[in-house]
Amino acid sequence: MIQENSIMVSKDLFFTSVTKGSGFSLIELIVALSVSSILLTMAVPGFQNIVLENRMTTDLNRLVADLNLARFEAIKRGDDVTICKKNTAGTNCNNTGSWQQGWIVFADSNRDGTVNSGEEIIRVNPELGVGITLTYDNNRVTFTSQGFAYGFAGTFVFTDSRGAGYSKTRIMSNTGRIRIG
């Protein structure tokens, strides 16, 4: 026995706790890493699909929300409101670009589909997520003061890098209603 500062300590107890480790052996560590890497290999593709699905759903919900906003603003204001593909500056419509660049919602009192002086821009939306495409038959949708979208009925189709099998559609009628396609 060793006596230090009036405390009795056993030599066997001291050396036993220092020399015996309580951890993993190298073999156990390699097996654990192998099992975890196999599980991750199976889980990552499924997780990637979830991420892609959420990105597309987010962009789709933004468009539907802005279509509804444009419709309700037209009714509230008693005047036409347009949603259109935006130009790169985000200040006007772009008849030659794509919906991937985003869109703007604005009060369109003369119903010409472009932002003129005195017409308020209600909302500007950013570009769609990476790899997401949006197709629609028209360059814009104009809602009347009654909430109708005469002449702008069509289908909005969202697709991503996974292909057409994973696309999502929303159909808009002449009455301005949007439904799942």
- Start-to-end CA span in the chain (Å): 84
Question: What's the rounded Cα separation, in Å, for the pair 88 and 108?
Answer: 20
Per-residue pLDDT at 37: 86
The span from the CA of 53 to the CA of 60, in Å, is: 10
Q: What is the pLDDT of residue 47?
A: 81
Tell me what pLDDT residue 88 has: 87
pLDDT at 20: 57
Weakly modelled stretches of the chain, pLDDT under 70: 1-22
Q: What is the pLDDT of residue 61?
A: 96
Amino acid code (one letter) for 172: M
Cβ count within 10 A of residue 9: 12
Task: Find residue 25's DSSP bridge partners.
Answer: none
Q: State the residue for tokens 């794509």.
A: 98
Q: Which domains does the chain have, with CATH numbers?
A: 25-180 (3.55.40.10)
Q: How high is the pLDDT of residue 40?
A: 80
Bridge partner list, 142: 82
Please tell me the predicted confidence (pLDDT) of residue 4. 53
Q: Tell me the per-residue pLDDT of 82-93, one tens digit each, with 9 for 90 and over.
A: 999 999 888 899
Q: What is the pLDDT of residue 7?
A: 57
Q: What is the pTM of this model?
A: 0.76
Strand 121-124, strand 133-135: pairing: unpaired
